[in-house]
Copies of this chain bind each other. A is one copy, B any other.
């Protein structure tokens, strides 16, 4: 098979890692990159990604410029968590006839949260003859695709519970800051009001599960609270005193009548005990599946994005989700 040409759009921390992972893989080639940031635009992509040698690819300020000198087959888009911001970017990309794999969290299953934009994007992709996918470790895998896939062996499913419990001590400092580690509870509450503490994608995971199970949800909930340090914690980038926030607990629920059929619990806290990714299906047979220690989120999101390229380029045109394409897997050659 001929080599698949990839353009990387957005060269922040995630985009940089995607580029590194792409360089490791056979059958795929990075041919262009776009990032309008003044410290990236015009520089060599290798330099921007912190590699020890240049790649001979200059980061373009915009897509039109990048397309002048390259003929990519697929774009990897790592610019935003917001569907609203992503859609105009994707519409521009697909107008060039490129498939799209994006880490945009809200794109992972936008059919219920953003039905209008989803339909618009689906139609545009269909017309352009390309497929568009939002993926990542979560949303996109651990709390939606994986529990859905597990229900394959069930005669009956009454409810699905997924928990992702992470010890943030081992994560990047920006991640620890993002989850509010080291804030007083008042500071945590203030930051919560700004919306920046929120793990984006829980609502989308709830909706993906509900749609695929055929459950019509009467309501959903999304509850965010601090994980409070019971004693001083010194494993993070700042010491956290007892009574301060060590991180965040976010619970997404899907409810039919008075039955909580979907419960997604996302916990990320410095010093958190017993990290694990757990799926519990109440049904016949009941299934409990545990990944002790949990999946490393930084590696996993970039890996699944790269792996999804192979699946998306042969998927039916339109807005796709992880629930309606063949399984994304690692592969040694394209």
Q: Which residues of A contact B (CB under 8 A)?
A: 21, 24, 137, 141-142, 145-146, 148-149, 151-157, 212-215, 283-285, 287-293, 295-296, 299-300, 302-304, 306-308, 323-333
Contact = CB atoms under 8 A, between A and B. Distances in A.
Given A289-B289, A327-B148, A332 B214 contact: yes
B152 A329 contact: yes
A154 to B, nearest CB: 5
A208 to B, nearest CB: 11
Given A151-B329, A152-B329, A327-B327, A287 B283 contact: no
Task: In the A-B complex, list the 3 residue pairs whose CB atoms are closest, starting with the nearest.
Answer: A153-B300, A214-B332, A151-B330
B303 A155 contact: yes
Contacts of A24: 155-156
Contacts of A291: 287-290
A222 B151 CA distance: 29
Question: Is chain A's binding surface mostly helix, strand, loop or mixed?
Answer: mixed
- Which of A152, A153, A296, A307 has the most chain B CB within a 10 Å cutoff? A153
A325 B330 CA distance: 16
19 contacts: A141-B152, A142-B153, A145-B149, A145-B152, A145-B327, A149-B328, A151-B330, A153-B304, A154-B300, A154-B303, A154-B307, A154-B330, A213-B332, A214-B333, A285-B300, A287-B295, A289-B289, A323-B326, A326-B326
B155 A306 contact: yes
Given A148-B327, A327-B148, A327-B149, A290 B287 contact: no
A307 B152 contact: yes
A299 to B, nearest CB: 5
A148 B149 CA distance: 12
Given A137-B153, A155-B302, A215-B332, 6 more contacts: A21-B155, A24-B156, A146-B149, A149-B328, A152-B308, A287-B295
A145 B155 CA distance: 18
A83 B331 CA distance: 27
Contacts of A149: 145-146, 149, 327-329
A331 B295 contact: no
A152 B299 contact: no
A142 B292 CA distance: 18
A160 to B, nearest CB: 10
Nearest to A291: B289
Contacts of A288: 291-293
B292 A285 contact: no
A256 B215 CA distance: 45
A326 B325 contact: yes
A329 B148 contact: yes
Given A289-B289, A289-B291, A283 B214 contact: no
A78 to B, nearest CB: 16
- Which of A137, A306, A332 has the most chain B CB within a 10 Å cutoff? A332
Contact of A212 (B157, B293, B323, B331): B331
A311 to B, nearest CB: 9
A299 B286 CA distance: 11
B290 A285 contact: no
